[in-house]
């Protein structure tokens, strides 16, 4: 997901430079949502990993 967030952020920069304001805003909005989703998933997996280590040891 983080890869797609970076791709949409770069697309938003390119669209902004070329003058496509609507597409730039939409791409940046998608990039923000994907970035937040990736961070939330990473935190969930980190917490699950910590609890699994405690159960194994």
**Per-residue pLDDT averaged across 49-54, rounded?**
84
pLDDT reported for residue 40: 93
pLDDT reported for residue 25: 86
Q: What is the pLDDT of residues 13-49, one digit of tens each?
A: 888 888 888 888 888 898 899 999 999 999 999 999 8
Q: C-alpha angle 39/20/12, rounded to 5°?
A: 20
Please determine, for residue 11, whether its predicted confidence score (pLDDT) is greater than 80: yes
pLDDT reported for residue 57: 65
Task: Give the span between the Cα atoms of 7 and 4, in whole angstroms.
Answer: 5
pTM of the model: 0.72
């Amino acid at each position: 997901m983080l890869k797609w967030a970076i791709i949409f952020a770069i697309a938003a920069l390119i669209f902004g430079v070329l003058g496509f304001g609507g597409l730039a805003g939409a791409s940046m909005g998608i990039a923000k949502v994907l970035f937040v989703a990736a961070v939330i998933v990473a935190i969930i997996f980190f917490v699950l990993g910590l609890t699994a280590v405690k159960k194994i040891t």
